[in-house]
Amino acid sequence: MSLRLAKRNMSPFAGRLPMSEVLSSLTQRFPGATTAWASFRDQERVIVSRERVFEILKTLRDDFHFNMLVDVTAVDYLEYEGARDRFGLIYCLLDTESGKRLVVKTMLNEPDIDVPSVTSLWSGADWMEREVFDMFGIRFAGHPNLKRILLPDEFTSFPLRKDYPVQGRGERHNFPVITRAES
């Protein structure tokens, strides 16, 4: 697998940068915006600032050939040991031609938990951003249809937040009871 990828990277994609250079040129191009990065066993991760995340993702798509957005997800770091920020919003990118992957993460803190939507870059982001909104309440500015996707519309909480109780706030039992005599 790795041999095959290495071979593929040799000739037909000669102009393409290797992965670590993507990170370094990203750091050069956006000084101060990339706060941390890591590389471990072919997993490349970079943490960027919330203000410039759209710009960076657009650059990654246009100039670094990450033509597919695999996933958008989030993590709530409330009560997480050593955490300094509340939410981590994660974009998983893939270059379908070379098979390279990059994980872009941005940290969010209340009350500023809105980020620009990337549906204009990858239209597949539509439902994934709706799911993140549904579960965490992170708002995506410019999203064409930002409403709940899994939970019913009348649901008012965001259940994957750590301060939401696992058993809910009684939503699961807020229904009329049908007795035998009336059915």
All residues at 6 or more sequence positions from 13 whose CB lies less than 8 Å from its CB, including other chains: 97, 98
Q: Does 163 bind another protein (CB under 8 A)?
A: yes
- For another protein, the closer of residues 28 and 163 by Cβ is 163
Interface residue with another protein, options 14, 28, 40, 175 (CB under 8 A): 175
CA separation for the pair 133, 151 (Å, rounded): 11
Q: Does 139 bind another protein (CB under 8 A)?
A: no
Q: Does 2 bind another protein (CB under 8 A)?
A: no
Among 49, 70, 20, CA closest to 112: 49
Interface residue with another protein, options 11, 15, 110, 112 (CB under 8 A): 110
CA separation for the pair 47, 103 (Å, rounded): 8
Interface residue with another protein, options 20, 96, 109, 145 (CB under 8 A): 109
Interface residue with another protein, options 56, 125, 134, 137 (CB under 8 A): 137
Burial class (CB in 10 A: 0-12, 13-18, 19+), 68: middle
**Residue with structure tokens 């939507």?**
117
- Size (the chain), residues: 183
- For another protein, the closer of residues 95 and 134 by Cβ is 134
Q: Which residues bind another protein (CB under 8 A)?
A: 77-80, 83, 86, 109-110, 137, 151-152, 157-159, 161, 163-183
